[in-house]
């Protein structure tokens, strides 16, 4: 393989089973891949994927360029327009929509017809009935909680909003807070809005709001905030959360001053590092609110796409099929590689109870949609203004009307452009 950047020492991570799969058609020429998997572990995964795919197709040269993830966010449009490679990394749902609308991403619906096990994430790659990329990893969000404190208080994992509220009151009565959170950097408030809105109004409504199709002053949005205010008025959250980052809010849960954290699975490692054992912490799906609303989830998804101007689309399509195959998904997402969840429901996960729970929730329980998180699903400016408003609401809930009017004015301006 001709790597444009100096390669790190790649770790062999793919199983013999993956290499034994049918290699598909004879591929020739050059397959150019631009990847933003620049951190050491993801980069090793990407380099090994490229090398193994080239080994499977000896007449094909795989040319890999790894770009810093933040730099790629500013470069991708120019790259897709001026000198498009054959495969690129990006993100699902509304984050890919501008490139689909600009005809810069290839329709790969034909690839999806040949692969199985990706039903739970298909919607995140679908626009107007067509698919424009494939996922390769994601991770769950949900409520991580102090199981030992729940047992002490005689609480069970809630399945409904009413049970969540009742549990919270018992926790408050014990002298603890229900939830820790740090909103200094705003995005954590976005997670709460995502879940409350998807549980109150459903996934389709939430995504329509993200696309600017629904006013922020809509009564259904107001109901989301009314549900949220139930918790705020109870005093459910730790005090002064606007002064803490998400990491700085962890000690409240570690010390037992708060019992739960709505967070992504990346929070598990620092909880363990702080001394909590798996017997002390557990995980549950954010409970249902509205009746008969499918349980959508936040599960930020990283993806591969074929630029519309790619030269070797045959090889690119075969690479996409290779990446999402069950065995490859098992290998690249294990703990010593990406350490996240495979997107293929036929894959296996490491023996980690939180990964197993997340995999079951996202792939086996067929969630009612997979959102990408507030700051990925909303356009950048709308996301920034929105998260400012969400944090303000958590601190000053009486400001809701002013917040909604500001966000609505921003919606009309931003989406008009």
Name the DSSP letter for residue 218.
-
Q: Tokens 């790259």: give the residue.
A: 79
DSSP string, 73-135: HHHHHHHHHHS--SEEEEE-GGGTHHHHHTT-B---HHHHTT--S-HHHHGGGEETTEE--EE
Residue 7 pLDDT more than 90?
no
Q: Are 30 and 60 in contact (CB under 8 A)?
A: yes
Task: Name the residue with higher pLDDT: 371 or 336.
Answer: 371
Q: Are 330 and 348 in contact (CB under 8 A)?
A: yes
Tokens of 15: 């199983």
Q: Tokens 């609480």: give the residue.
A: 155
Name the DSSP letter for residue 207.
H
Beta partners for residue 281, in sequence order:
146
CATH 3.40.190.10 fits 16-139+300-369, yes or no: yes
Residue 295 pLDDT more than 50?
yes
Q: Are 24 and 74 in contact (CB under 8 A)?
A: no
| pLDDT digit string, tens, across residues 228-248 | 999 999 999 999 999 999 999
Domain boundaries, the chain: 16-139+300-369, 141-298+379-416
Beta partners for residue 121, in sequence order:
none
Residue 18 pLDDT more than 50?
no
* Residue 219 vs residues 200, 215, 223: alpha-carbon distances, Å: 12, 9, 6
Domain spanning 141-298+379-416, CATH class? alpha beta
**Residue 42 to residue 164: CA distance in whole angstroms:** 37
Residue 11 pLDDT more than 60?
no
16-139+300-369 and 141-298+379-416: identical CATH topology: yes
User: Using 50, 70 and 90 to split pLDDT, how confident is the model at 366?
Assistant: low
Q: Where are the alpha helices (DSSP H) in 256-399?
A: 268-273, 313-324, 326-332, 353-359, 374-377, 380-395
Beta-carbon contacts of 275 under 8 Å, excluding residues fewer than 6 positions away, are: 254
The distance from CA 167 to its chain's CA centroid, rounded to whole angstroms, is: 27
User: Using 50, 70 and 90 to split pLDDT, how confident is the model at 369?
Assistant: confident
Could you count the other beta carbons within 10 Å of the beta carbon of residue 26?
Answer: 10
| pLDDT digit string, tens, across residues 377-399 | 998 899 999 999 999 999 999 99
* pLDDT for the residue numbered 124: 86
């Amino acid at each position: 393989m001709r790597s444009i950047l100096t390669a790190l020492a790649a770790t062999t991570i793919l199983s013999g089973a993956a290499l034994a799969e049918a290699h598909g058609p004879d591929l020739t020429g050059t397959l150019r891949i631009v990847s933003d998997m620049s951190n050491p572990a993801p980069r090793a995964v990407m380099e090994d994927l490229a090398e193994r795919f080239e080994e499977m197709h000896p007449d094909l040269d795989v040319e890999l360029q790894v770009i810093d993830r933040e730099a790629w966010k500013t470069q991708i449009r120019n790259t897709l327009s001026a000198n498009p490679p054959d495969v690129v990394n990006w993100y699902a749902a509304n984050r890919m929509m501008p490139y689909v609308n600009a005809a810069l991403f290839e329709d790969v619906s034909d690839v999806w017809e040949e692969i199985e096990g990706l039903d739970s994430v298909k919607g995140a790659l679908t626009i107007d009935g067509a698919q424009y990329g494939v996922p390769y990893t994601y991770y769950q969000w949900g409520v991580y909680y102090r199981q030992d404190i729940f047992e002490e208080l005689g609480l069970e994992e809630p399945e409904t909003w009413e049970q969540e509220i009742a549990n919270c009151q018992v926790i408050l009565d014990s002298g603890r807070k229900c939830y820790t959170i740090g909103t200094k950097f705003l995005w954590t408030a976005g997670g709460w809005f995502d879940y409350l809105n998807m549980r109150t109004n459903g996934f389709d409504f939430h995504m329509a709001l993200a696309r600017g199709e629904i006013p922020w002053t809509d009564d259904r949005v107001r109901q989301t905030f009314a549900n949220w205010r139930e918790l705020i008025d109870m005093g459910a959250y730790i005090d002064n959360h606007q002064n803490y980052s998400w990491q700085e809010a962890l000690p409240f849960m570690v010390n037992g001053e708060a019992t739960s954290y709505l967070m992504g699975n990346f929070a598990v490692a620092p909880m363990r590092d702080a001394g909590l054992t798996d017997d002390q912490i557990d995980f549950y799906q954010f409970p249902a609110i509205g009746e008969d609303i499918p349980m959508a989830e936040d599960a930020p998804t990283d993806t591969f796409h074929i630029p519309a101007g790619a030269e070797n689309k045959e090889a690119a399509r075969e690479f996409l099929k290779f990446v999402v195959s069950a065995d490859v998904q098992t290998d690249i997402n294990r703990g010593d590689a990406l350490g996240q969840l495979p997107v293929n429901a036929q894959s296996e996960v490491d023996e980690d109870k939180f990964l197993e729970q997340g995999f079951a929730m996202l792939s086996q329980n067929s969630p009612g949609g997979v959102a990408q998180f507030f700051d990925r699903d909303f356009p950048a400016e709308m996301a920034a203004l929105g998260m400012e408003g969400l944090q303000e609401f958590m601190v000053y809930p009486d400001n809701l009307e002013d917040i909604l009017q500001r966000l609505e004015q921003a919606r009309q301006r931003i989406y008009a452009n």
